[in-house]
């Protein structure tokens, strides 16, 4: 979504420069009225602002999920001696290997 919003923004800026700024460069008032004479310009502008807002929200959610994931992973690693008692301690490596192989989750060390 980020790259599509960047691409659409560049397309809109190209259009804006070539069809509004360049032909009406002699007067700010004429360029301003040409910009708002068509409803579509406002809708495209609002769409682009909305897309960048959505990207910001998704980025924030991703950062929060990554932080929670890392905290949970660190807690599992720190408490592994409490979680894996006696007999199950021997099978711990099998589970860790499965987690690493299937989901690329390293439970051996805290650092990424």
In tens digits, the chain (112 residues) has pLDDT values of 788 888 989 999 999 899 888 898 888 898 888 888 889 888 988 998 999 999 999 999 999 999 999 999 888 888 888 888 877 777 888 888 888 899 888 888 887 5
**Residue 69 near residue 99, CB atoms below 8 Å:** no
pLDDT for res 63: 96
The alpha carbon of 106 is separated from its chain's Cα centroid by a whole number of angstroms, namely: 23
Q: What pLDDT shows up at residue 89?
A: 78
- Give the distance, in angstroms, between the CA of residue 55 and the centroid of all CA atoms in the same chain: 6
Judged by phi (left if over 0) then psi (alpha if -120 to 50, else beta), residue 104 lies in left
| Sequence spans of domains, the chain | 2-61
Provide the whole-model pTM: 0.65
CA distance 58 to 62: 6
The CA dihedral of 32, 37, 42, 43, to the nearest 10 degrees, is: -160
Distance in angstroms (rounded) separating the CA atoms of residues 48 and 42: 10
Q: What's the pLDDT at 14? A: 94
Tell me what pLDDT residue 96 has: 87
What per-residue confidence (pLDDT) applies to 57?
A: 95
**Under 8 Å between Cβ of 48 and 8:** yes
């Amino acid at each position: 979504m980020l790259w599509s919003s960047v691409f659409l923004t560049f397309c809109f800026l190209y259009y804006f420069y070539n069809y509004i700024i360049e032909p009406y460069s002699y007067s700010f008032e004429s360029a301003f009225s040409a910009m708002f004479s068509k409803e579509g310009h406002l809708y495209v502008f609002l769409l682009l602002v909305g897309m960048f807002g959505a990207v910001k929200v998704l980025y924030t959610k991703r950062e929060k999920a990554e932080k929670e994931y890392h905290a949970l992973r660190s807690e599992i690693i720190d408490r592994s001696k409490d979680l894996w008692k006696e007999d199950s301690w021997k099978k711990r490596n099998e589970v860790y290997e499965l987690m690493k192989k299937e989901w690329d989750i390293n439970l051996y060390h805290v650092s990424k």
